[in-house]
Structure 1
């Protein structure tokens, strides 16, 4: 084994699916991993979470709108006396208003439950993005130091003031503190 090769356990897993046309194999593998993760997370969701997601999805569809349009229209037509065949049961439409209010309460609860689940997923993705960005920043800093050492060994001059700044590792805590500080100064 070449000493510069990566050990097997450090190599990324290869995809079993063929790479999509025009995509690099690594990108195709990453897309496949994301899709598999979403499927696994969907299977792991509790029955309550699955129900809330299904109800929210249906309530956000045009079929839901059409069904409600038909039901509410029929209710109003019958109860204002346009169809004398059926006896009105809600002349003032108070029952319709009550049913719509109760439905709105439950629908908003299901939507909020679904949004909470989605917010938790977004938080996890944001944490992953931050970790990848920090790793990328660290690797870039190491590469800059390595290239500078190579340039020094080859007697190549680098008189870039920004290079000294770029060689410094970024500490996330310091960046977050500065963001909070700037945010508080903007509010005050």
Structure 2
């Protein structure tokens, strides 16, 4: 097998690996979306629409039309100044929109929390694998007589990582400030 053929094969394997990983993430996202209840399914598109500039322009045009209709002379006024009915409608809309947005944010927070837990689990597994590989390499280096026993950093890296210890250190450091 030529070097070019190996490189081409390695690139294809890397693309395939990336494709499989992206597909796994896509399936996880789909699973998460299927687990949502009806309210969460409704809240997401409402919150997405309300977060667009078109929502602002639509409201600006609607309010301008409402106020103009009820302020201009020679038109029948269904909500004369001070536009009490408009105030009621806007207040009710604000209540419902804020509820939809909060539901959408809660769903996103749960999804982010699950992703963070998955990432933490994968990071811990990688750390355990790296520690194991480092121990094996260190043992091989000792057999070959190239080990540096006086390296305190190497000794620290050969120790298994204790997430609870690191978490405690972080909490202590941030509590002090």
User: Which category of TM-score, normalised to the shorter sequence, fits these structures?
Assistant: 0.7 to 0.9
2: distance between equivalents of 1:88 and 1:80?
10
Instruction: Within 5 Å, give how 1:125-164 maps onto structure 2.
Output: 125-158=115-148, 159-164=150-155
Q: Number of matched residues?
A: 166
From 83, 86, 97, the equivalent of 1:93 is 83
2: distance between equivalents of 1:22 and 1:164?
36
1: distance between equivalents of 2:60 and 2:75?
21
| Residue number in structure 1 paired with 2:28 | 37
Which structure has more relative contact order (CA 8 Å, sep 6+)? It is 2
1: distance between equivalents of 2:130 and 2:70?
71
- TM-score, normalisation: structure 1: 0.80
> How big is each residue's C-alpha offset from its partner over 1:28-87, in whole Å with a ceiling of 9 and x where there is no partner?
2111111122122212211111011121112112332222122111001111115x2443
In the alignment, structure 2 segments of 5+ residues that lack a partner are: 1-11
Instruction: Say whether residues 1:106 and 2:112 are aligned partners.
Output: no
Residue aligned with 1:24, SS: helix
1:168 Cα deviation from its structure 2 partner: 0.6
In the alignment, structure 1 segments of 5+ residues that lack a partner are: 1-20
> Do 2:71 and 2:77's aligned partners in 1 also have CA atoms closer than 8 Å?
no
2: distance between equivalents of 1:31 and 1:50?
24
> Do 2:138 and 2:147's aligned partners in 1 also have CA atoms closer than 8 Å?
no
From 138, 156, 169, the equivalent of 1:165 is 156
